[in-house]
Amino acid sequence: MNSEYTSEYVDWKAEVPVIRYRALDALGCVEHGFSTRLGGVSKGIYKSMNLSYTRGDNKAHVDENFRRFCSAVHMDKNKIVSTDQTHTTNVRVVTEADAGHGILRPKTHFNVDGQVTNVPGLPLISYHADCVPLFFVDPVKKAIGLTHSGWRGTAGRIGARTVEVMAKNYGSEPRDIVGVIGPSICQSCYEVSREVAEVFEKEFQMSDMLMYAKGNDKYQLNLWEANRQVMLDAGMLPENITITHWCTGCHPELLWSHRKTGNERGSLAAFLCLK
């Protein structure tokens, strides 16, 4: 796959490759990035840029991976705020008091899959290995959101919930918010059961772009398109939404994929921070 697109890019020659989005760069008010499997120090099944402390990797290796990646994206490792992702539609407002949560100190809040903040220099992160990272930036009110959206979160419209929380707490107007649907599993790689398909049939306007049947009660679901619809229904403008070209299932050598490797893996992470 080419390393550059109109909407996203990555420098594979860098010590730590980072997937970035031109739409977010252009705003000038945020630092951001999405990790790959490259550029870290982890060994074995976690090789090399594993950013999860909960999968059994050596803590010192994960610490170094965070140090390297944060340096690459110009963020303070000591202030990162992480979540306890459990496929909910819960979105938490993050303040200065949360700095270091889940990284430098134990987690004290749980069942959170989305975070928002208006605090400069406070990095939000979410963990991924097929589920969709959703980036939200309001350049007018200077507020951001970062959300983990698997099929349950997508069906529950956690992206819209994130927009609502930003509007309530920061006065964000949905039409001002710039969004990115980041690296995750594509429709061709994402087979779901009839039970999951029925959930989406109830919640979304159906088309082959969103979901199609392949027989034997199996369906191919497009989480990218579903989340685009969620963003549009929340009032965001189509020209303000960027969709990734990177599928975790198509590129398991570069991106962690739970579907490809099961639990024998590390985790990717999305990072977003107001300057």
CATH of the domain at 161: 3.60.140.10
Is 194 a domain residue?
no
Of 131, 121, 128, residue with least CA distance to 272: 121
Amino acid in the structure at residue 21: Y
Is 218 a domain residue?
no
pLDDT band at 6, cuts 50/70/90? confident
Mean pLDDT, rounded, for 154-181: 98
Is 220 a domain residue?
no
Higher-scoring residue by pLDDT: 83, 40: 40
Is 130 a domain residue?
yes
Report d(CA 33, CA 28) in Å as an integer.
14
- Residue 4 pLDDT > 70, yes or no? no
Task: Give alpha helix (H) positions in the chain.
Answer: 22-25, 59-73, 151-155, 158-170, 194-203, 223-233, 258-261
Is 82 a domain residue?
yes
Q: What is the pLDDT of residue 5?
A: 60
Of 55, 32, 31, residue with least CA distance to 42: 55
- Residue 63 pLDDT > 90, yes or no? yes
Q: How many domains are there within the chain?
A: 1
Mean pLDDT, rounded, for 194-215: 95
Q: What is the pTM of this model?
A: 0.97
Report d(CA 185, CA 223) in Å as an integer.
8
- Residue 3 pLDDT > 60, yes or no? no
pLDDT tens digits along 18-30: 999 999 999 999 9
Range of the domain at 147: 8-184+236-274
Is 65 a domain residue?
yes
- Residue 232 pLDDT > 90, yes or no? yes
